[in-house]
Structure 1
């Protein structure tokens, strides 16, 4: 049998009862009426209301200062927890001081060869944390939108660098770096995702949405078509107006590719959303998802703030990285084309690289494909045409003629990846083949001399 809890009256209630007792001792009619037993007349509702109001005022007065202090302590606790989870939870973040070190070396010495290395190391942990923040955002948006957001934030660096290089008249650097981003995402990033995911999940076959992968493969082939014809027109010397038809065709093709990418976004996010339901989301709807116990570590607004901060800081360091590229090429005796196509995209795609591997190891291949293939699609169908249009606006002759060697490398890469994705399954051997193909491409660019220079 439970023991009844004794409710002690507060200071206000106690004083009120003492006054009531004194009134009862007096012989007035009102005093006698108020002192009747509970069986005769229940406790007056007006007295009960005033008593409750007095108690509430007393409680509010005593705890208002405490609640305001607790509110400030809660805000400080949220900020501390967010910094601890994002910044101090990964040992790779020990490389973060190399970012400010690169800026300091640039200001003090101006030696471009020394700036390139610290900038490279400083961007790596930021890119990994960018992938982590995007993974947290995927909990709130779903796999399809999560992969699209990851590709967008990952390509923000390339877009900012490209616009900065266009203003400086370095159109060839823009072409090579964007081409390298496509090759790196399709071969290295996707290959590492398949390899690591296949090793970790070796007891079962990893599958992904084959229909969504086919649509991305078709868009990549369309991008190859848009890039191939200006190069063929140039090397066959069949231009109607020499030096002008190639540029005009590039600008027209860029506008068509931008329209196709906007239609693709509408098709993916609005018109045919059911086509892009990932395997994990389908299993969760059927009650077979083994990752139901996973929950985000930070809130949605914290994730958006961290994404903005990471993207801005990566863009700042990437500017120093690009500025030190030529100096590093002379100091290290490495061709500029190799740095532009191979080394620079490795840093720019570090976010996609880390997040794609992370998702693949958790058996979320649809997000990995959205990151790797989606990023390549976004660069080829949006970033490159957008740079052509921006060059058109500011008076820079940016075109889609990536030269014959570079266009052939892109065409063969798209064909190889399309064959790898046609079955809708992934394993470690496919990942190994993609990585080895990337090594062949890297070796080819190491011995390649850019004909435009």
Structure 2
């Protein structure tokens, strides 16, 4: 009896105490917060989000738009970080699908909020702006920075991959061009309806085409030499957050972006009147800054480190994803919401997109890069931005530039 009593404490020693479990959980939560929130300097912009919500009730729409824009930028960047962390636990195939799904989640959330408010032109122009931004300013800055850093040699990249992305962009362009030409040539069987039906039919084709593109990228693209252990060591060191913490952060950032996007979209028209600039300029030039901030920084860093294939994958891959996946998806979501979202992006916007796709394909056809090619793309982006600053969208009187 005494032996049993004496042995009891030794059995309890193997059972962790409630306070020990609590302390361990708090330490894990603190490590997660430290890795996600305090590891990036851009997170100093996060407080601008709550400030935007407070300012919203003062009815200063110009300030609300600017503060919401600043608040969403770090949330979008951290959403990408959480996706990358989660992909380390899922393997390359599922990881690629996760990156494809969450890569442009910010643009999708903003688009859905705008469609809910009936602002379909803002949806079209913001998505168009994201494509133009990735192809001109993101890619241009990457090529320019890489060319300046390695000015004594021509940087080389895989022209086959670049050509495949250019081909996918041309397919997406054809999908947008057909309803636009149909509208402006007045050759519709049913005026105002045929282009909508054509857009929805084309969108149903573009989504499987993008799925086939993803399957090809995952299944048939050459894989780097597995014998090199350096990359494996880097991946092990890159695991900063646990799998369930990643999922939790994905939910938190997605909900936060959704809430702020509602205030952002609601303040666009007020910001246009307050700042005396067209809504088209805000949608095409300013809104894409939110979704492309992370891509911009990473593409430049990869180019500086002479990893131009990754830079092109970031910039052109994001443009392809928006054109072949996000835009058709928004058309179908609009269809389910009872909104007349279509692929008719109007003549001015479609012409600029056509010239951009042709220009990028022409500059990348030889598989080499230098700072001059990057500079040309940057100049073209500023030409496009200036064009939308003086452009009046005739489809809506609200998009006209106010005159004082």
Q: Aligning the two structures, in what range does the TM-score lie when normalised by the shorter sequence?
A: 0.7 to 0.9
**1:179 to partner: Cα distance:** 0.8
Q: Does 1:161 align with 2:110?
A: yes
Q: Which residue of 2 aligns with 1:120?
A: 69
Q: Does 1:102 align with 2:52?
A: yes
TM-score by length of 1: 0.77
216, 227, 237: which one aligns with 1:267: 216
**1:222 to partner: Cα distance:** 0.4
Counterpart CA distance in 2 for 1:360 and 1:286 is 25
Matches of residues 75-224 of structure 1 in structure 2 within 5 Å?
75-107=25-57, 109-137=58-86, 139-140=88-89, 149-199=98-148, 206-224=155-173
SS in 2 for 1:285: coil
348, 352, 376: which one aligns with 2:291: 348
Q: Which residue of 1 aligns with 2:335?
A: 392
Structure 1 window deviating more from structure 2 (109-118 vs 146-155): it is: 146-155
SS in 2 for 1:239: coil
**1:104 to partner: Cα distance:** 0.7
TM-score by length of 2: 0.86
Cα pair 1:131 1:355 within 8 Å, conserved? no
* Pair 1:311–1:194, CA change in 2 (3 A): farther
Q: Gapped runs of 5+ residues in structure 2?
A: 397-404
Cα pair 2:109 2:257 within 8 Å, conserved? no
**1:446 to partner: Cα distance:** 0.9
* Number of aligned positions between the proteins: 394
**1:331 to partner: Cα distance:** 0.6
Counterpart CA distance in 1 for 2:311 and 2:342 is 31
Q: Deviations over 1:107-139 (max 9, x none)?
A: 3x1221121121122122223333433444454
Cα pair 2:109 2:261 within 8 Å, conserved? no
- The Cα RMSD (Å) is 3.0
SS in 2 for 1:397: coil
Counterpart CA distance in 2 for 1:258 and 1:65 is 51
244, 251, 255: which one aligns with 2:204: 255
Structure 1 window deviating more from structure 2 (219-228 vs 156-165): it is: 156-165
Cα pair 1:209 1:276 within 8 Å, conserved? no
Counterpart CA distance in 1 for 2:99 and 2:189 is 42
Cα pair 1:113 1:324 within 8 Å, conserved? yes
Cα pair 2:88 2:239 within 8 Å, conserved? no
Q: Deviations over 1:406-434 (max 9, x none)?
A: 00111111112222333344444433322
Q: Which residue of 2 aligns with 1:287?
A: 228
Cα pair 2:113 2:261 within 8 Å, conserved? no
Q: Gapped runs of 5+ residues in structure 1?
A: 1-11, 17-52
Counterpart CA distance in 2 for 1:185 and 1:143 is 24
Q: Which residue of 2 aligns with 1:373?
A: 316
61, 64, 67: which one aligns with 2:15: 64
**1:151 to partner: Cα distance:** 4.8
Larger Rg belongs to: 1
**1:214 to partner: Cα distance:** 2.3
Counterpart CA distance in 1 for 2:354 and 2:369 is 22
* Pair 1:433–1:151, CA change in 2 (3 A): farther
**1:161 to partner: Cα distance:** 2.3
Cα pair 1:147 1:370 within 8 Å, conserved? no
* Pair 1:124–1:361, CA change in 2 (3 A): farther
Q: Does 1:299 align with 2:245?
A: no
SS in 1 for 2:394: coil
SS in 2 for 1:220: helix
**1:358 to partner: Cα distance:** 4.3
**1:106 to partner: Cα distance:** 0.7
